Amino acid sequence: MTHSFQTSVLQSPIERTNICKKSQRSVESNKLFQVEISDFENECYYIEVEARDFAHASEIAEALFNGDIYNMNIYELQ
C-alpha cells in the first residue's frame, strides 16, 4: 500500500524574519504539525504530532493511524 503526503507552511513576512533569526541561534527542536489523513472511503481524520520535520511527522502519523491511508496532508502549526 502506498500513499502520498503534501506539505504546507503559511506565515507572514514578519514571522518569516523572526523564524530566520531563531534558526540561526537555536538547536533543532521538535515542531507541532497537524496531519489530515483521508482513507479510501473518503473519510478525514486529524492528528496533531510533534516532530522534527514533515517527513518525520508523516512517519509518526502513519504509525498512529490504524487503517489504510489514501492521502495525507501535513501542516506546520506556528
Q: Which residues pair with 7 in a beta bridge?
A: 74
What's the count of helices (H) and strands (E) in the chain, helices before strands?
Answer: 2, 4
DSSP β-ladder status, 31-38 and 4-8: unpaired
Span 5-51, pLDDT tens digits: 566 666 555 555 555 555 555 556 899 999 999 999 999 999 999 99
Span 55-66, pLDDT tens digits: 999 999 999 998
d(CA 34, CA 48): 4
pLDDT at 33: 96
